[in-house]
Amino acid sequence: MLFIFCRRSFSFVIPTVIEKDGLETSEIGGVLSSFALAYSIGKFINGILVDKFSPKWLFASGLFSCGLFNLLFSFADSYHFGILWFLNGLCQGPGWPACAKILQR
């Protein structure tokens, strides 16, 4: 549940970001696209890593780092949105592979 909350948190603040930070819709699209790209990369890499390392550790570290990047995102300026949201996408990567491995046991 917390992984999904961290994944969708930017969607809730898009109208505020457009109004207060003055971002264009194309810039918002770039931020959202950076997340999708990083999430895909993260799922692929972590799908391999979950076979080599503890799925519980990967799941917990991914969730912790997602929370950290969401907190940093709330203090960031518009220039850093894409970078932080990309890093959040990478941290979302271990969620599904680790959860599938944990449930498999």
pTM: predicted TM-score of the whole model, two decimal places: 0.79
pLDDT at 37: 92
Q: Which residues of the chain have pLDDT under 70?
A: 1-2, 5-7
pLDDT at 5: 67
pLDDT at 85: 86
- Residues with Cβ < 8 Å from 35, sequence gap 6 or more? 7, 10, 85, 86, 88, 89, 92
Cβ(69)–Cβ(30) below 8 Å: no
